[in-house]
Every structure is written in C-alpha cells, then in structure tokens.
Structure 1
C-alpha cells in the first residue's frame, strides 16, 4: 500500500536547480530513451537508466545508484519519472527520491531555455 512516505516528493525545475547550485550531492537519474537524451539534456551529469532497457541495467543498479544520497528522477514530462521513483522507493527501498515536475520540458521553460523542447 502506498503511503505519502513511500512516494517520491515533487520538485520543481527551479528548486532542483537551486539545490544543484548549492552543491547538494543529488544523483540525477534520467529515464528517457537515448534519442531523447540526445535531443535535450541537463547541463549536469546524469545517470542514464532508460526504462526500456531495464533488463540491462537492473543487475547493476546497486553499483550505479547510491542509497544514502538523494535521487532526482527526470523524464520528458514527469510521468515516467514518477513511475520509476515509485518503483525505486517501493520495490528497491530507496529513501529520498524526488520527481522533477514537468520533466526536462519544465527545465527548459523555467530554468534554461537553451535546453531544446521537443
């Protein structure tokens, strides 16, 4: 059963940018496909875990994603990242997970218009 404690918190693009600017050690996880990442990417290092390739990266998730650091999940509009964030918390036991509201599209509109919209 989902409880508020087992659901990702929502974070706006501006809030995420501020936290990154403040030097918070946030792990950015992008669940979009490779072609989407090529179209528009954050100007920060991301851990690319495309949902369609989960069978390839799932066995190494523990090596790729630290449990003791916050995770911000990103997709195009915030839907896939929300689903992944829920899975990460409920099935994998990660604690501090944020979902980027509006995804990379919101980042382009609210924070950095040089990031292409698609």
Structure 2
C-alpha cells in the first residue's frame, strides 16, 4: 500500500496541489479534529466510490492509519483504484509533527 507522511501531505496542501483528501472517521470524530478533508465514514466508503477521484492523487486518512488502510485495501481490491495513498500515522501524527493545536483523542 502506498503511503504519504504528514510532511508530504503538508507540502501538497502548501503547494495547493491538485489532490483529494478523504477522512474515513466518524462524524463525531471529525467534529473533534479534522484536516478539512471530505468526510466519508469507513462504513460508507464502498457506497460512495463515485465521490472518490480516479484521475488524481487521493490521500485517505483516519485517526492512526488503520481504518484508512482498510478502506484503501477494499477500494483497490474490489474497485481497481490505483491512486490511493494512506496517511501514515493519521491525524495523530499530524498533531504530533505538524500542528499541535489539532486535538488528539
């Protein structure tokens, strides 16, 4: 599975790169802390494949990287996606390494 680090994600954001950021956590988690990604909870990912770009880089994240990894594995094996990248360490790593104002929970 392809991954990006939080430093690489920050660079994509800072450079205003053309990519999609998807958050597969639950709505209550998104309210606590988010990176302004598009919220598609893990249980709804497969029903929303039409909302996931196939023509550009897509970074998928969750709290730690486990749920987003599961989402990517399913999307790659069942739907043939080849442009998905897991955010290594998830929003916890973002809080630790990029922006400590992002709450950890």
- Normalised by the length of structure 1, the TM-score is 0.82
> 2: CA distance between counterparts of 1:37 and 1:93?
27
Tell me how large the CA RMSD over aligned residues is.
1.5
Unaligned runs of 5+ in 1: 1-7
- 1:12-65 Cα shifts (integer Å, max 9, x gaps): 1111111221121111110000011011111x3x2211013x28x71x421x12
1:51 to 42, 51, 56: 42
Query: What does residue 21 of structure 2 align with?
Result: 28
Displacement over 6 Å in runs of 4+: none
- 1:106 equivalenced with 2:93 (yes/no): yes
The range that moved more, 26-35 or 85-94, is 85-94
1:1-118 to structure 2, matched below 5 A, reads 8-42=1-35, 44=36, 46-52=37-43, 54=44, 58=47, 60-62=48-50, 64-118=51-105
Count of paired positions? 105
Give TM-score scaled by structure 2 length: 0.91
For structure 2, list consecutive stretches of 5 or more residues without a partner in the other structure.
none
Distance 1:32 1:103 in 2: 10
Task: Please say which structure displays the higher CA radius of gyration.
Answer: 1
